[in-house]
Amino acid sequence: MINRQLLHPESIVVIGGSNNVHKPGGAIVRNIINGGYKGVLRIVNPKEDEVQGVKAFHDISELPPTDLAILVIPSHMCPETVDRLAEDKGVKAFIIISAGFGEETKEGAKLEQHILDTCERHGAALIGPNCIGLLNSWHHSVFTKPIPTLHEKGVDFISGSGATAVFILESAVTKGLPFNSVWSIGNGKQIGIEDVLQYMDENFDPEKDSHVKLLYIENVSNPDKLLFHASSLIRKGCRIAAIKAGSSESGSRAASSHTGAIASSDSAVEALFRKAGIVRCFSREELTTVGCIFTLPPLTGRNFAIVTHAGGPGVMLTDALSKGGLNVPKIEGPDADELKSLLFPGASVANPIDILATGTPEHLGIAIDYCENKFKDIDAIFVIFGTPGLVQLYEAYDVLHKKILECKKPIFPILPCLHTAGPEVAEFLKKGHVNFSDEVTLATALTQIMKTPKPASPEIELFGVDIPRIREIIAGIKEDGYIAPELVHQIFECAGIPMVPEMVSDSKGELTAFADKVGYPVVAKVVGPVHKSDVGGVALNIMSAEHLEMEFDRMMKIEGAKAIMVQKMIKGKELFIGAKYEPRFGHIVLCGLGGIFVEVLKDVSSGLAPLSYDEAYSMIRSLRAYKIIKGTRGQKGLNEQKYAEIIVRLSTLLRFTTEIKELDINPLLADEDNVTAVDARIRIEK
Amino acid sequence: MINRQLLHPESIVVIGGSNNVHKPGGAIVRNIINGGYKGVLRIVNPKEDEVQGVKAFHDISELPPTDLAILVIPSHMCPETVDRLAEDKGVKAFIIISAGFGEETKEGAKLEQHILDTCERHGAALIGPNCIGLLNSWHHSVFTKPIPTLHEKGVDFISGSGATAVFILESAVTKGLPFNSVWSIGNGKQIGIEDVLQYMDENFDPEKDSHVKLLYIENVSNPDKLLFHASSLIRKGCRIAAIKAGSSESGSRAASSHTGAIASSDSAVEALFRKAGIVRCFSREELTTVGCIFTLPPLTGRNFAIVTHAGGPGVMLTDALSKGGLNVPKIEGPDADELKSLLFPGASVANPIDILATGTPEHLGIAIDYCENKFKDIDAIFVIFGTPGLVQLYEAYDVLHKKILECKKPIFPILPCLHTAGPEVAEFLKKGHVNFSDEVTLATALTQIMKTPKPASPEIELFGVDIPRIREIIAGIKEDGYIAPELVHQIFECAGIPMVPEMVSDSKGELTAFADKVGYPVVAKVVGPVHKSDVGGVALNIMSAEHLEMEFDRMMKIEGAKAIMVQKMIKGKELFIGAKYEPRFGHIVLCGLGGIFVEVLKDVSSGLAPLSYDEAYSMIRSLRAYKIIKGTRGQKGLNEQKYAEIIVRLSTLLRFTTEIKELDINPLLADEDNVTAVDARIRIEK
């Protein structure tokens, strides 16, 4: 429970605050003092009378009531200290820096639990244990460096790892990225990443609050909560990017060994992020670059102008943007000619706009003005400006500074000369700007942002899905495992998913009667053995009752045969839909073309149930083989709308049947008019 | 022609050298002086008696004979100056900094040509015009900053753009990357990137010379030369990485507008780099990161240990390595347990080896020692070591320094705290090390290196390809365009590429006799119309002479029908081979599965003719759909060896027939035993 005492304490006590700034207890006091904390700072240290100029109490008993307590003492002393502070001193917020809790031993976990219980009983907030603290513009309660530039519209950064937070801040500082708050949740005993997001969402003030959130996540402990509040914040105008470390199998091993948390399956994370509209990043460099982009005005389109005084970086930037599906449109016409006439001979305005190495600050300003006012196609402007060391760049960067303030279109500064023009870049950053020193890193981050969809609609498409009846069927199933084909049929019928007509029976007469009714050709499959084709249990293209009878007799002799299924044989291209239940996340739904497309090419896309129509279409259209569904030269397409509908209906069904652990519809047969499930398997586990 | 006077001049004269270090003429004099040039430095400046402490001559006539002249005067004055210096003063090397030549105007191109003619006549070397100069450990003849750390085993860097070279050096300097030489070729009028490589190759001294070459290329002007010398250097133990800017269509536009050079098609560049074994990079950041990796001992395997004192970066690094197909193998067993016992409680040794935030320099040393000596599976070691600002890192980085010198396995230092531990990192770099501040950027660069093949064999597979006869056939063709099917047949026969038996004739009798001979079923196709199937000009599965006669009569009535082709009908999976002639590069050969694999999935791989068997196999195996060729569960594979053979034979044929501009074999039909070309088209242009 995040409260005022945590965010804006009138008084802070550091239990274990010391004079040794080479230890956390001293460093955190130094940071709070250097951060200009305007409330009352108190220290408890049995051995000192004064710590860094602040009076030190020798014992908690001497303390006046205090809002926030920061504990930097051995873990075994923490529970009692928290008890006394909460009970006697009215402390309503705790930041526990100390390590040696649940992340290390079972005894530590008990200490942690005791602290949590006390906090819950007293309605107190708890950050940590095992963290670097909390930093905002009011109080710098972290023991680490660097302290980034702070700005109320800067980034809110929430990290699942303290050390990683420090390294991310290092990467941010050189870019000039400003922060509004830094949260290191440590073991997250009470307040996890999701809880911080929830607080920000529920208390969001669009005027005052920062619109940019960066997350470093090692374990998604509450996927639903993350999804709900992240997408809610994004809908309110926020922009969120996150690293979820542990995306590979070996990476997950590392994450587990590090945090003691069980890593979530990566495809679930991927699907969750897409559903929420969170931009996924894979490195500190990428996260802070995306963060810097987020501090600029949002992009309204995909067309970029590049103003540069060096050709090469302009070309590399153009290449990287094109690779990411972004455009550097050719600029031509009278306005372009006019611009050219205002630059030095040899300058190029076709885009990249190359003002030449000798281009002046004035040229830079003019080129930006033309992009802002005259070139209507252009949505945003990159400016590449460095120096070979002949002149200082203060003037040029001042022009850039003014244009960034003036222009409506976002301007991305790419200032590569961190060495030769170090002081000029530093002054530019001091004015509140960010800098992208490598143009391709910037383009890659932009691509990552542009390909992240908007948050999906949170509403579930219920139309025509008979949930009560489905629940009844599931409830009636007594045994775990693959359920009977006729139950699959019933469930699909309730969900409005068309299946090819079929009958399962051990009576030859019943089956031939069924075949007569639906019409030949039919398919016969043995029921019982799992790998039917391996045992000769599948016969296609049966054209007559006689033929069917013969196959019936043959198949019933196969070991394990219980009955025969007869299906109407239909034609079409093979499609595939699969689903897998991921604990805590829910069902991951996969779609793609069947056969080699799934098995060899692994050309599938995934989403997290429940899925909206928009999501289903986006899944289908992101397939590499989408052109086949759409129809290529000379080949008719498949009914995409019906395919999407089945994906949506299935995902709705799954949302209400967490007992379904695995589901495959393979194949569905599709043509221009229809998409029909031919074979489906459902495995449940209660 | 690169000579001693250019590389190691006993005397240098700067024509236009000045006191104004804010202009190139002054800055280059400053750099030469600050670089501790040990030869004789002279200045020509009509207005000064002394320039930066060096006596200035007022006119060239006063100069003693000099080895190298650097011109920093207006372009129109250069030709005469070069004439006088070459003729009267025995100057044997020129660096022309001045711009305003062929890159700007036709008049400029003439000036440039005059200078080249003079240089050629006098056997003089010429760098530029329009460049930043040449920098090596003997003389710093560039006008730009930064000047990187110089080391005889550092990088040789050759750049097609001066400004970009400066920005690349900026990116290198922060990483500590040392240089042996920096070449900015400018307009490359005499000495281009390829020529520098040729010189390095032909004069390579494995003891003394640097083994690392980095290239920034805007235009591959001589692909054969680049291929020959780059692969030769790599075979001698060098490691080469390059950016070729202008890989996208818009990027090429930018490159053209910038350098006046026609950009090469990107797939040709890609194929050339792979053939040569050049690691392709796409950004300054990536190029300098690869350069840093190249300064470390070469990797002998793909198994990495990560020693870290922070969990998060270890996890992100593991993820990125796994994504690139590199391994972070689990470490366990008695040695691992022993290591664990030497670290603080809570440390993890499973790999990543997490020595904890509180881990000491001693722990770091121990963990590295175990990776070096005990864990036999490990090929290289990453060390992630930063600080939250409590202690200084001099001691830890000194341990790292010593271990890098001691250990045989490459150690990659990842020191992220450039801000908080700036001075410590700087001191570490001063000891001659490099630093990778972002672990994922490092992993991505490593991946790029590991996936670059070795240089291909330069020998052409001639066995069984009848070049003289093929030349005869080509010589006999009088008209440009698609050549007649029977000529395609003849050419393929000479190259030993099996084609399905076929006959083209306008005689019904001849065709039925042919069909009787090869056996039914056969296929009939109209000859004349280009899009045969669109006009009903293809009939499959013809089972009898009668049926064939009927189709003959029908097809001969199609507009444009000249004859009918009858082919034996064979079965198999469709494969595809295509080739395209790229001016200067030669033929790009493409291969893949036919049909949707080429058309929809664009699943093709490419190589540059002539191709070795190794290259052909590598092309086939890099297909996404390779499993289909190899054979998947229940499906037999195709004859990969014969497919490779056809690719090799075709590529040999193409090497001797530059008149062939386009060639398609689509489809080839393949099964376990045979691969046979069914339909092929060849377009020639003389």
pLDDT tens, B642-663?
Answer: 999 999 999 999 999 999 999 9
What is the average pLDDT score of chain A?
A: 93
Evaluate whether the domain defined by B467-568 bears CATH number 3.30.450.20. no
The per-residue pLDDT for range A587-598, each reduced to its tens digit, is 999 999 988 888
Distance in angstroms (rounded) separating the CA atoms of residues B363 and B350: 16
Q: In what order do the strands lie in the sheet with B40-44?
A: B50-51, B54-57, B40-44, B11-15, B68-71, B93-96, B125-127
pLDDT confidence band for A670 (50 / 70 / 90)? very high
pLDDT exceeds cutoff 80 at A255: no
Per-residue pLDDT tens for A110-156? 999 999 999 999 999 999 999 999 999 999 999 999 999 999 999 99
Mutate to test the interface with A, among B168, B179, B250, B437 (most CBs of A within 10 A): B250
HSE of B587, CA atoms in CB hemisphere, 13 A: 30
Tell me the C-alpha to C-alpha distance, in Å, between residue B217 and each of A311, A357, A405, A568, B131: 12, 18, 36, 63, 14
d(CA A620, CA A643): 8
Contacts of A316 in chain B (CB under 8 A): 243, 245, 251, 282-284
Who among A167, A315, A420 is closest to B386 (CB)?
A167
Q: Which residues, in sequence order, are bridge partners of residue B353? A: B307
Residue from the list A162, A216, A600 with its beta carbon closest to the beta carbon of B625: A600
Residues of chain A with CATH 3.40.50.261: 146-294, 304-450
The ranges of chain B annotated as CATH 3.40.50.720 are 4-135
| B167 CB within 8 Å of a chain A CB | yes
Residues spanned by CATH 3.40.50.720 within chain A?
4-136
CB contact (8 A) between residue A438 and residue B283: yes
Shortest alpha-carbon distance between residue B351 and chain A (Å):
7
**How confident is the model over B357-384, as pLDDT tens digits?**
889 999 999 999 999 999 999 999 999 9
pLDDT, one tens digit per residue, over A367-408 is 999 999 999 999 999 999 999 999 999 999 999 999 999 999
Task: Provide CATH code, domain B146-294.
Answer: 3.40.50.261
Q: Do B419 and A143 touch (CB under 8 A)?
A: no
Task: Say yes or no for a CB contact (<8 Å) between B104 and A164.
Answer: no
Whether residue A357 is predicted with pLDDT greater than 80 in this model: the reply is yes
- Which residues does chain A have within 8 Å of residue B352's beta carbon, measured at their own beta carbons? 254, 257-258
Q: How far is A256 from chain B (nearest CA, A)?
A: 10
Start-end ranges of CATH 3.40.50.261 in chain B? 146-294, 305-450
CB nearest B27 (choices: A162, A327, A390): A390
Instruction: Mark yes or no for CB contact B146/A389 under 8 Å.
Output: yes
Q: Cβ-count burial of A260 within 10 angstroms (0-12 exposed, 13-18 middle, 19+ buried)?
A: middle
A259 lies within 8 A of chain B by CB: yes
B466 has a pLDDT exceeding 90: yes
Round the average pLDDT of chain B to a whole number and report it: 93
Tell me the residues of chain B between 549 and 608 that have a Cβ less than 8 Å away from chain A: 596, 599-601, 603
Contact map slice: B 428-457 vs A, CB within 8 A? 437-441
Residues on chain A touching B257 (C-beta within 8 angstroms): 311, 348, 350, 352, 354
Give the model's pLDDT for residue B635: 80
CA distance B365 to chain A (A): 20
pLDDT at A252 (0 to 100): 57
Inform me whether the C-beta atom of residue A149 falls under 8 Å from chain B C-beta atoms.
no
- B72/B150 Cα distance (integer angstroms): 25
In this predicted structure, what is the pLDDT of residue A265? 66
Question: What's the CATH fold of domain B4-135?
Answer: Rossmann fold (3.40.50)
Residue range B93-109, pLDDT digits in tens: 999 999 999 988 899 99
Contact B218 A311 (CB under 8 A): yes
Instruction: Say which CATH topology domain B305-450 has.
Output: Rossmann fold (3.40.50)
User: In sequence order, which ranges of B520-635 are alpha helices (DSSP H)?
Assistant: 545-556, 596-599, 613-621, 626-630
pLDDT value at residue B257: 42
Residue B256 pLDDT level (bands cut at 50, 70, 90): very low
CB within 8 Å of A444: residues ≥ 6 apart:
A286, A289, A320, A324
Taking CB atoms and an 8 Å limit, are B417 and A22 in contact across chains? no
| Shortest CA gap B453–chain A (Å) | 23
| CB B516, CB B503: distance < 8 Å | no
Chain B residues with CB-CB distance to A418 below 8 A: 170, 174
- Can you tell me whether residue A237 is helix, strand or coil? coil
Q: Edge-to-edge strand order for the sheet containing B502-505?
A: B502-505, B563-568, B522-527, B538-542
CATH 3.30.470.20-classified regions of chain B: 573-684
Q: Looking at the partner chain, which of A251, A253, A416 has a beta carbon nearest the beta carbon of B167?
A: A416
- Domain over A4-136 is classified CATH 3.40.50.740: no
Beta carbons of A314 and A352 less than 8 angstroms apart: yes
- What residues does A576 pair with on adjacent strands? A592
* DSSP conformational letter for A464: T
Q: Nearest residue of A to residue B310 by CA position?
A: A163
Task: Note whether A277 and A452 are within 8 A (CB).
Answer: yes
pLDDT value at position A346? 84
Please check the confidence at residue A261 and state whether its pLDDT lies above 50. Answer: no
Q: What percentage of chain B carries pLDDT values higher than 90?
A: 87
Q: Is B238 exposed, middle or buried (0-12, 13-18, 19+ CB in 10 A)?
A: buried
**Could you tell me the pLDDT band of residue A264, with boundaries at 50, 70 and 90?**
very low
Q: By three-state DSSP, how is residue B431 classified?
A: coil
Domain A304-450, CATH class in plain words: alpha beta
Write down the residue that tokens 């079409």 correspond to. Answer: A572
Domain with CATH 3.30.1490.20 in chain A: 467-568
Q: Which residue in B386, B440, B600 is closest to A285 by CB distance?
A: B440
- Any CB–CB contact under 8 A between B47 and chain A? no
Q: What's the ipTM?
A: 0.91
Q: Summarize pLDDT for B119-167 with one digit per residue, the tens.
A: 999 999 999 999 999 999 999 999 999 999 999 999 999 999 999 999 9
pLDDT value of position B252: 57
Q: What is the DSSP letter of B47?
A: T
CA distance linking residue A420 with residue B146, whole number of Å: 6
Nearest chain B residue (CA) to A624: B601
Residue A258's pLDDT is 40
- Which residues of chain A make contact with B354, given a CB cutoff of 8 A? 257-258
Chain A residues within 8 A of B388 when measuring between CB atoms: 27, 132, 143-145, 162-163, 166
Say what the pTM is: 0.92
Distance CA A370, CA B195 (A): 41
Most A-contacting residue of B270, B302, B316 (CB-CB within 10 A), to test interface: B316
Q: What is the mean pLDDT of residues B589-603?
A: 87
Specify the CATH class of A573-684 in words.
alpha beta
| B426 touching A (Cβ < 8 Å) | no
| Nearest-Cα residue of chain A relative to residue B388 | A144
Q: How far is CA B364 from the centre of its chain?
A: 37
Residue located via tokens 């009983």: A121
Contacts of A518 (CB under 8 A, 6+ apart): A501, A568
pLDDT per residue over B265-311, tens digit each? 688 899 999 999 999 999 999 999 999 999 999 999 999 999 999 98
Task: Answer for the pair B617, B601: CB distance below 8 angstroms, yes or no.
Answer: no
